[in-house]
Amino acid sequence: MTAVRVKDRDGSEQTLDAAETTPLMETLRDDGYGIEGTCGGAMSCGTCHVYVSEAWAAKLPPPSEDEKAMLEAISDFAEVRPTSRLSCQILPDIIYDGLEVEIAPQA
């Protein structure tokens, strides 16, 4: 398992165990963080938006053009930061033990 530090929308913080075989979006969705993931990871809904900590933002692989396009699309109704990511794109092949994320507000 992989430990992920999560700051929830109410400001509370927890450490959760993320399976090493699923995208982070699925763990956050299944653990009740209000992540809908309605497109199932196809980068077409933006409901899996998280803010990665500054320290971790540089460690993750950069977002793809499709991920950047989705983040741009949601910027009309959500605060998108330089560290914004789609948690469906934080994939299990990325070593992210100790990752810190904040759940973005619902749009």
Q: Which residues contribute to the site for ligand FES (CB under 6 A)?
A: 25, 37, 39, 41, 43-48, 70, 86, 88
DSSP-based three-state secondary structure for 29: helix
Q: Which residue number, 11 or 65, has a Cβ lying nearer to ligand FES?
A: 65
CB of 41 to ligand FES, least distance (A): 5
Q: Which residue number, 11 or 24, has a Cβ lying nearer to ligand FES?
A: 24
Secondary structure element (H or E) that encloses residue 60, with its range = none
Would you call 10 exposed, middle or buried from its count of C-beta atoms within 10 A (0-12, 13-18, 19+)? exposed
DSSP-based three-state secondary structure for 6: strand
CB of 88 to ligand FES, least distance (A): 3
